[in-house]
Chain A
Amino acid sequence: NAGVTQTPKFQVLKTGQSMTLQCAQDMNHNSMYWYRQDPGMGLRLIYYSASEGTTDKGEVPNGYNVSRLNKREFSLRLESAAPSQTSVYFCASILGGGARDDEKLFFGSGTQLSVL
């Protein structure tokens, strides 16, 4: 059981380049999230998908787009990368669907992105 799988683990981009971070979970979870982690700021929510077919903005959505491709996959796209997007990105999922008793967030291992 792989849990939450993120690719790639590391990426270096030049300013203005685009890329897509991939995330997949095999736990039949309804809700999926993209966070970025910066020193001294904790994890900040970029976008989330409460269920298949829906996506919504989080705290810091500017410069990003997402796609909930199906129930398993939730991708994050940087259309024109900027140095301010240098960060560690985490994908996460929970069972969701109103099941508040099962609220454990499962995290991927992270993607370290540098934008030069």
Chain B
Amino acid sequence: AQSVTQLDSHVSVSEGTPVLLRCNYSSSYSPSLFWYVQHPNKGLQLLLKYTSAATLVKGINGFEAEFKKSETSFHLTKPSAHMSDAAEYFCVVRGDSWGKFQFGAGTQVVVTP
């Protein structure tokens, strides 16, 4: 069984300040973990993925995430928010062997000038 919990449903940041989106997971298998972003009225875009290589994963648009097995976490960060980062972000876990992807409930990010 696998599950994913995004700890914040909404995050509001000022432009130029750091962004932290928190994600905890559970999985019976060694998981693969992903962050996806969805801009308003758009489809989903892959930001980054962890698949058992380096625990610090760099993605597109300056985002990165750190896999911490002891804490079962995969938090997403960006040092400096941009207005274009306003979107909904989904943490996704794939734990079993055939490819079932479990989505978190999403975190809505608002960026203020």
Contacts and interface: CB of A to CB of B under 8 A. Distances in A.
Contacts of A50: 98-99
Contacts of A43: 44, 90, 103
A110 B105 CA distance: 18
Nearest to B92: A105
| Chain A contact patch, size range | 20 to 34
Interface in B92-113: 92, 94, 98-106
A110 B32 contact: no
Interface centre among B46, B49, B51, B98 (most CB of A within 10 A): B98
B40 interface: no
A85 B92 CA distance: 23
Interface string A77-91: 000000000000010
B49 A103 contact: yes
Contacts, number: 53
20 contacts: A31-B99, A35-B103, A40-B9, A41-B105, A42-B6, A43-B90, A44-B103, A50-B98, A58-B100, A94-B99, A96-B98, A103-B49, A103-B51, A104-B46, A105-B34, A105-B36, A105-B46, A105-B92, A105-B101, A108-B43
Interface of A: 31, 33, 35, 40-45, 48, 50, 58, 90, 94, 96, 100-101, 103-105, 107-110
B56 to A, nearest CB: 19
A101 B94 CA distance: 12
A34 B106 CA distance: 18
